[in-house]
Structures are given as C-alpha cells and as structure tokens.
Amino acid sequence: MIDFNGQVAVVTGAGRGLGRLYALDLARRGAAVVVNDLGGTMHGKGSDTAVADDVVAEITAAGGRAVASYDSVDTAEGGQAIVDRAVEAFGRLDVVVSNAGIFNSIPFDALSADDWRRMLAVHLDGGFYLSRPAYSLMKRQEYGRFVFVSSSAGNFGQPMEAHYAAAKTGLVGLSNVIAIEGAAHGIASNAVLPTGFSRMVTETVGDEKFLAESGFMRAIRPELVVPLVTFLASRNCTFTHRNYSACAGRYARVFVGLGDGWLADAASDPIAEDIEAHLDEVSATDSFIVPESIVDEVLQVCERRGISAMPDNAEVAFPERAG
C-alpha cells in the first residue's frame, strides 16, 4: 500500500470538490494534512471558515490528523502562512498539492484586465506564493513532492477561458523549473490535468437535466482523479518533470514534443518564403523528442549542425540531459 506515514501534506482548495477528495485520501493513507481553503465561491467571492473546518472534522472523525488553514494563496503572506501552519502543527512539510483556484467563463473580447489579473493571481501567483517557501523547506529536508493541478483548458484550449487557460498552463512552466532545480535535493514536481464532475462543471453547464442524464458526467466522477494525484504525491513516485491527464478513468501522459523540423543550410540566410516552401517539414510531428529542458533543444540543433555547444576553451558547458 502506498502510504504517507510520518509525512505532512498541504492541499489548497481542499474544502470542496477534488481538493477535498485529495485531502481525504492522503489522510486515509497516514498523512497529516493541512486543509487549506478560503471558503469563497467558485468566482472568488467571500469566505467561510466552515468549509475547511468540515473537512478537518471529517478526517479526524475517521482517526486521521488534520488542521485547517483559511489563508488565501494569492499573496506572498498567505503562501508563507500556509507553510508555517504545517510546520507549527506537524513539524515539517513533505507534500504540496497546489489545487486552489477560481473559475468563470468570459469571451476573449469581453475579458477585462481585472478579470485577467484576478485569475492569474489565484492560480499562477498562488502556485508561486505557496511553492516558494515550501521549496525552501523541502530543500533543507532533502525531500519533497509537488503536484500542481493544471488543466487541459490551457494545454489544448477551451473557449471563453483565455485567462484560466493561461494561468493553468503557467503552472506547468513553474512545475518544470521546480523539477529541474529540485532534482538534486530529492524534490519531485509534476502536474495533473484533471477532468472531474465538480461545481466548476455544474455551475458552468447549468442544465440540471443534462447533468442528471449525461453518461459522460457520470463517467467523470471526481473520485477517478484521486489515484493519480495520490501516486504523484507519494514516495513511490520517483520521476519528476512530467504532466498527466486524468479523465473518466483514463490516465495518460501529456507532453510537449519538439519535431525534427527543417534544417536550413548553414551557409544560407533563410527568408519567409523558405519557411513556406518547407512548411510540411517545419510542421511535421511524426519524429520528435520530449525535451527535459531548453538545453535539450540546443544540444539537438548543435548535434545536427555538427557544432559544439561548448564555448572554445570553456570548462563548463550546458548541463547534461536529464533523460
């Protein structure tokens, strides 16, 4: 059994929906859990301490250990307070599930600067404000696990969600760099793109008859996302720097691939017409690599060019590939 005995986990947005289920499963498996939730609406309005308190009561009634945190992730002070809550209550922090978020649907040409900033403040800024102090603590411990909850809305696109999509995809970039820098310190970071029946779905769809009768809605019950998040948060997860989708009981890796492309003659100065002439090669996806960092792209091009990525007489060049 994958267990979290002796470990401490923070789950943000843990008062309802998917976040609550993550917290319950981690606690059931032995983790001491900080249940963080401001208790606001899906649109980010208001607060209610009972939302986090109820989940804490649920965990403790089942024999687990948990404390509530009502701090918002959208400030540096809030992120630090959440980490401090874990240390004060349980003495350490091993797992962060960055799940807190808000949601609304706005056509792109109606999206205001305030709408944009509010969405990024909670999802992307919130991910940073929490992970930055947590990372420092994990680095001293020489162990840690980050699971960032991203979304297919960003990686693949979703109408009327430019702000949400940008914020969620930004978390993938944040996770990628934490993974690279944290690898030497026993810290792993991965992202999940979940599809689960939650208030985000119910309030967005709004059609109660459809929700009640839809086979797809029954298929995406939120409990099906939990196994993936729990595994990625565990000691048993020994890899890092990956993204996975969970949808209706289908679990799959999501990745950004780099095609072979078209390599212009080294002595030429390509122009736009050359791109057009070789567009099929430029756009081809049938031969690709999955870079572990920007370094892999540079090394691939240098190899094809027959040149060295190392400056003349330099003792240090690019770091080795991670994969």
Please identify every residue annotated as catalytic.
164
**DSSP secondary structure code for residue 42 in this structure:** T
Q: Supply 106's token pair.
A: 């706005």
**DSSP secondary structure code for residue 288 in this structure:** E
Alpha helices in 160-293 (DSSP H): 162-182, 199-205, 208-213, 215-219, 226-232, 272-277, 279-283
Of the candidates 10, 305, 319, 278, which has an alpha carbon nearest to the alpha carbon of residue 144? Answer: 10
The CA distances from residue 123 to 90, 118, 165, 174, 300, in Å, are 26, 9, 10, 11, 34
For residue 314, list its beta bridge partners.
Answer: none
The Cβ-side half-sphere exposure at 161, using a 13 Å CA radius, reads: 19
Of the candidates 177, 178, 155, which has an alpha carbon nearest to the alpha carbon of residue 294? Answer: 177
- Residue 309, judged by CB atoms within 10 A of its CB (0-12, 13-18, 19+), counts as middle
Measured between alpha carbons, how far is 245 from 264 in angstroms, rounded to an integer? 36
